[in-house]
Amino acid sequence: MNLFNVYPLFNINPVKAQGSFLWDDKGEQYLDFYGGHAVISIGHNHPYYQGRLKEQLDKISFYSNSVQNELQTELAEKLGKLSGLEEYNLFLCNSGAEANENALKLASFHNGKSKVLYFSGSFHGRTSAAVSVTDNPKIVAPVNYDERFIKSEWNNIAQLEDIFEKEGNAISSVIIEGIQGVGGIMIPTVEFLTKIKELCEKHNTVLILDEVQSGYGRSGYFFAHQEFEIEADVITTAKGMGNGFPIGGVLIHPKFKASNGLLGTTFGGNHLACAAAIAVLDVMQEENLIENAQKMGAYIEDAIKDFPHIKTIRRKGLMIGIELDRDCAEVRNSLLYDHHIFTGNSNDKTVLRILPALNIKKEETDLFVTALKTVLENITVKEQEVFIH
């Protein structure tokens, strides 16, 4: 049997990782400035994280949600405390897409409506309803398409108001990323989020904040939308939650009432997943990683802001989009193959996406800054040589 090849792969095979570094099967070292799509929040193989997982393996790895699991309770309590959302309730699942599926379903159960409003540039997952509210026709199969899903332009208040005037009574939920990641680190304005909240309250519409990538301290706040003091009805999270162990969560406002069988999952909230997620929260608190995200993100922006070929820098904490004056592929490939640094791209081909671990250190950051400067200056030299000849 062969793999079903749906991923374009770099010819690199990592076999070991520690902190912000990876090593391939040839012994070459790489600096990880992408964290596997913002998944690695506390660094690879953090000793406390490893210890919690190994300890849990010696006890029990899994049983279904038909029995009590005190680790789920501990996780909910610690997540509520660190996020400042202690009054919310937590439903545990396995991924960001699954979290968004459950959020959309919960909203529809709550108000009995069926339409969903989403935004241009969005990415909410690849499963049934989640992909239907993702703005990428290439990954939306005919079975996923439905006119119940309505798209509005990002940060366009006039269009938003027009849609609500026509469809407000039928819109079950609005789903929006705290910061668009795949879309190219697009940050909503406070006016835009405030208007969404106002219209949702007016029309009995559920406001879902997708914080799958922008949450868990990535933005310099626990959840990105908290900077604007917007209260979401439902918040979804996943990527940084388990530092590589699959886990997702739905944070649910207390106005939603639970009932037996309303939501469900086989693997969600299993013992190992909870141990991983608890370890992440413990490390985040102990090492002040949200503060470090603010500090190191600002340091990176200040260090690179005057480099050639950079048009704009879009950033909150350590969620950074570097918009270049060209397709970022050449720069990304040079960083990877010439300087051994992993970075990311986005649906905007000009945006280089930077998502290092929240405990990144200054000396590691300087490696990236130096390499990026070299790559961009080499482009200038090449263009001058072409011009001269």
Q: What tens digit of pLDDT does each residue of 206-264 get?
A: 999 999 999 999 999 999 999 999 999 999 999 999 999 999 999 999 999 999 999 99
Specify the range with the lowest mean pLDDT, choosing from 45-54, 308-317, 377-386: 377-386
- In this predicted structure, the answer to whether residue 271 has a pLDDT above a threshold of 70 is yes
Q: Which residues 6+ apart lie within 8 Å of 270 measured at CB?
A: 61, 62, 63, 69
pLDDT tens, residue by residue, 71-118: 999 999 999 999 999 999 999 999 999 999 999 999 999 999 999 999
- Whether 369 has a pLDDT exceeding 80, the answer reads yes
pLDDT at 389: 63
For residue 386, pLDDT over 80 is answered with no
Task: Supply the pLDDT for residue 387.
Answer: 67
From the centroid of its chain, how far is CA 346?
Answer: 13
Asked whether residue 3 carries a pLDDT value surpassing 70, the answer given is yes
pLDDT at residue number 189 = 97
pLDDT value at residue 384: 80
CB-CB contact of 350 with 325 (8 Å): yes
Tell me the residue ranges of DSSP E strands in the chain. Answer: 14-18, 21-24, 29-32, 89-93, 115-119, 149-152, 171-177, 206-210, 234-237, 248-252, 310-316, 319-324, 341-342, 351-354
Query: CB burial class (10 A; 0-12, 13-18, 19+) of residue 211?
Result: buried
| Strands 248-252 vs 89-93: parallel, antiparallel or unpaired | antiparallel
pLDDT confidence of residue 281: 98
Higher pLDDT pick, 388 / 228: 228
pLDDT at 381: 86
Report whether 88 contacts 157 (CB < 8 A).
no
**Is 90 exceeded by the pLDDT of residue 345?**
yes
With a cut of 70, say whether residue 60 has pLDDT above it. Answer: yes
Element (H, E) at 280: helix 271-286
Q: Is 119 helix (H, G, I), strand (E, B) or coil?
A: strand
Q: Is 206 helix (H, G, I), strand (E, B) or coil?
A: strand
What is the mean predicted confidence (pLDDT) over 119-138?
Answer: 97
**What type of residue sits at position 299?**
Y
Mean pLDDT of the chain: 97
Beta strands in 52-166 (DSSP E): 89-93, 115-119, 149-152
The pLDDT confidence band at residue 382, using thresholds 50, 70 and 90, is: confident
Residue 385: the pLDDT is 73
- Which are the contacts of 215, defined by CB distance < 8 A and separation ≥ 6? 178, 222, 223, 224, 235, 237, 239, 240, 241
Q: Which of 209, 269, 208, 220 has the alpha carbon at shortest distance from 241?
A: 269
